A and B are shown apart, each in its own frame.
Chain A
Amino acid sequence: MDRNTLRALASACALIPLTAPAADDLQALREEIAQLKKTYEARIAALEAKLKQVESPPAPAIQSSSPVTSKNAFNPQLSLILDGVYFRDNKKGASVEMFDMIDGINHSHGHQGHAHGQLERGFNLRETELAFSATVSPHFDAWAMMTVSDQGDVALEEAYFDTRSLPSGLTVRAGKFLSGIGYLNAQHPHQWDFVDQNLAYRTLLGEHGLSDTGLRLSWLPKTGSWYTQLGLELLQGKEQTFATSGLATPTSREDGAPLAATSAGALAAQKAGPRLTTLYAKLGPDLGANHALQFGGWLAHARQHQEVHDHTLEDPASPVQALEGKGRAWGLDAVWKYAAGGYGGQGDFKLVGEYLRLHKNLKIAFDEGGTQVGEKRDFVQDGLVLQGVYGFLPHWQAGLRYDATGLTKNEVRGPNGKLAEWNKSDRWTLALTKQIDHFSLFRLQFGRARLWNEGVEEKANQLYLQYQMSLGAHGAHSF
């Protein structure tokens, strides 16, 4: 309260009884009091407003950096994906094996890694994905994904950590992870627009694509309105189609017979890792709200690759050989997504195209015949996948895919030219997906493939009816 105002009031009051008030004076006094009252009230109002203002400002800024979310209650976040298919084909179930035996440079030793529970005609429960993720500390995020087969076999698909506090657009990832090469490589099966892996990846990189243990450095440089990501991965080079090492020199044959006395040569010792290096770049212009476009290119180089060729079960006359040398692969990819803004994704489409090519520049290190040791063998094969998905009704998507392997090259060369050449295998696939809601979908897929097995053409038709259910804290999908 204002002291002067009080004093004025007091003196005003004190004055009243002392002077014999004339009518004029009285009027003046009344006016003065009214005036004082007015200012006084205004001051009180102002002070009240000020008090209100001090009381009402929202909570201090520091406490509100953390998001309002229910997921914080769970650390780590868990998510589980159920994936089941009903499967039929026109080969009494044999088409599954035909896809495993496609003619190409990786054919004779395509059974590395864990077998993917062969599909049966009828009902199948495919691998259940179980993912854990959490922010470990202000500096790290971590992620692990396991798959459980219908027999209860557990496999660790990914387990890695990412840095979250490096400056200048840098991120480091370490552990076991799906490589950043290509567009489709880093996607888990539940993110696929089709039930199964495309032929190019399947035959050139393996059922799961390129996934290995190591280190990744990724960098987002400042490139104006363009998105640019550059990545360098140093990987162990373990059990990849073009990066495998640590194999033993053959000491026996698959058919059980002893190795011929003419056997000569040996595989070199395993080199220390990292044996596989990849480099990739992804570029995307800013095309506004409706369109998103990204181009990518990648290279992979394995400084040691070994393989053993033993066909004695099929042909006892064929000599056992072991080869070693370097593996190389490269690819180009492009993605275009259009968001129409319709309800339930109606009118949206996505186009993906990838080309990849695999080279193995090897020498015969061990030969049962003994005469070919040191001879070079150059393998090359390429593949392509083109796929599009269109939202033709709310929550309904139609997908069309063409995938091929051995597209323009599928051969092995020796010192005197081509030793063998295989045909192109390809396939057309149509898929119809109904997104029931955010967390569940049904998909009907029909594929017609022209496959080459041991030089024989097979026409395989496959029909799938799939469901996927996503349980728990399902994270956001990357682009």
Chain B
Amino acid sequence: MKRFALFLVLFWALPAWALEVVATTSSMGMLARSVGGPEVKVTELAPPDRDAHMLQAKPSMMRALRDADLLVAVGAELEVGWLPAALKGAANPNVLPGRPGYFEAAAQVALLDVGQAADRAQGDVHPAGNPHVNLDPARMAMIAQALAARMGQLDAAHAEHYRQRAQAFAQAVAEKTPAWRAKVAGSGGLVSFHKDAIYLTHFLGLPFLGTIEPVPGVAPTAAHLENLAAKLKGAKALIAHTPYQPPAGAETLARLTGLKMAVLPIDPPSGSDAADYFALIDRWVEALAAAK
């Protein structure tokens, strides 16, 4: 009876998962879930309906990071305004940068816009490169495979499961890619509020035509929009902004150019799986296709 009680205690005390993962955004949460499957428990810090640049560190983040085995961040300074403070407050050495428990998606792939001058006259620039890799399914597939390797390093018992799931994710991306590209073929490209969709246009082979904000982190000006409108003359492009970005600039540009406008999130909903992520890419592809 005593032994049975002990067994019960152990059973309740032992978690049902092998790794406790904290993901900074819902895209990273989706990857962790797709690769980790039932072997991981995933907590997401940033809700997808707001700008991941602008969050503030808060106690619940420190709480989540305190017990994490693995932190999956986008990186390239996207979370620089809050993640270092949250990590400092979490007192968990296992997930500090440089440790195996710290995983940065942007560090696994080649970045676009690398090596811009660290000149803040150019706005809130990221000299390390553009961090918004999450809208590029091909890069996400590579990140998934690197993440699988990392999970396997931390939890060798399930390494093969992680590898297989990452493989399946990459396979799914490879299968969907031709249809996505075919659908948008002939599109004139994309204008987005912030340079957060450039990896998607790159992936789809479309031109990225500019941003509604004149420089990163600075609100649109009339002069900039007029210049942009002149540049867009004749292009069959889509104007897009996320739900948390102000619509006024995009509306003005749409009025000046007569182009179609869409409000599209750059991250899938909280708690998403791969299917939700692909649905997000589908939405962008549909919108781009509809605008050609």
Q: Give the interface of A toward B (CB within 8 A).
A: 57-62, 64-71, 138, 141, 162, 164-167, 169-171, 218-220, 222, 225-227, 229, 282, 284, 286-287, 289-290, 292, 294, 337, 339, 341-345, 394-395, 437-439, 475-479
Contacts and interface: CB of A to CB of B under 8 A. Distances in A.
A69 B97 CA distance: 11
Contacts of A222: 66-67
Contact of B120 (A67, A226, A439): A439
B128 A69 contact: yes
A304 B54 CA distance: 46
6 contacts: A61-B146, A61-B150, A65-B107, A226-B63, A292-B58, A345-B54
B106 A68 contact: yes
The 7 closest A-B pairs by CB, nearest first: A284-B59, A227-B59, A476-B85, A289-B47, A292-B58, A70-B127, A227-B63
Contacts of A166: 91, 93
B279 interface: no
Given A69-B80, A475-B84, A64 B107 contact: yes
A171 B47 CA distance: 29
Interface string B26-61: 000000000000000000001101110011111110
Contacts of A476: 57, 80-86
B122 to A, nearest CB: 12
B212 to A, nearest CB: 12
Taking residues whose C-beta sits less than 8 angstroms from the other chain, chain B's interface range is 35 or more
Contacts of B63: 225-227, 284, 286
B145 interface: yes
Contact of B107 (A68, A220, A475): A68
B168 interface: no
B59 A294 contact: yes
B56 to A, nearest CB: 7
A68 B75 CA distance: 6
A404 B92 CA distance: 39
A285 to B, nearest CB: 8
Contact of B218 (A65, A70, A437): A437
Contacts of B98: 65-66, 138
A440 to B, nearest CB: 10
A42 B235 CA distance: 45
* Most chain A C-beta atoms within 10 Å of own C-beta, residue among B49, B100, B104: B104
Interface string B138-153: 0000110110011001
Given A220-B66, A226-B63, A292-B60, A65 B80 contact: no
Nearest to B62: A227
Nearest to B241: A343
Contacts of A339: 50, 55-56
B77 interface: yes
B217 A479 contact: no
B102 A67 contact: yes
Contacts of A341: 47, 49-50, 244
A186 to B, nearest CB: 11
B124 interface: yes
Contacts of A164: 93, 96
Given A170-B91, A289-B47, A476-B57, A343 B97 contact: no
Given A289-B46, A292-B58, 7 more contacts: A58-B109, A65-B103, A66-B97, A67-B75, A141-B88, A476-B81, A476-B82
Given A59-B146, A222-B66, A342-B244, A169 B92 contact: yes
A58 B142 contact: yes
Nearest to A57: B145
A58 B76 contact: no
Given A169-B66, A478-B57, A394 B219 contact: yes
A162 B100 CA distance: 21
Nearest to B92: A169
B187 interface: no
A120 B121 CA distance: 33
A70 B76 CA distance: 8
Contact of A60 (B57, B93, B149): B149
Contacts of B76: 67-69
Given A61-B146, A166-B91, A284 B102 contact: no
Contacts of A282: 59
Contacts of A229: 89
Contact of B99 (A65, A218, A438): A65
A212 B86 CA distance: 25
B263 interface: no
B245 interface: yes
Contacts of B54: 345
B246 interface: yes
Contact of A70 (B62, B91, B120, B128): B128
A66 B107 contact: yes
A64 B104 contact: yes
A476 B104 CA distance: 18
A68 B85 contact: no
Contacts of A289: 46-47
Contacts of B96: 164
B108 interface: yes
Interface string B170-191: 0000000000000000000000
B129 interface: yes
Given A64-B104, A476-B82, A343 B246 contact: yes
Nearest to B65: A220
Contact of A59 (B55, B86, B108): B108
B16 interface: no
A479 B75 contact: no
B146 A64 contact: yes
B261 to A, nearest CB: 17
Given A68-B76, A226-B63, A337 B128 contact: no
B118 interface: yes
Contacts of A141: 88
Contacts of A218: 91
B97 A477 contact: no
A193 to B, nearest CB: 13
Given A66-B107, A222-B66, A287 B50 contact: no
Contact of B56 (A66, A67, A343, A477): A477
Contacts of A167: 93
Contacts of A437: 123-124, 217-218
Contacts of A65: 97-100, 102-104, 107
Contacts of A68: 75-77, 104, 106-107, 111, 128-129, 131
B198 interface: no
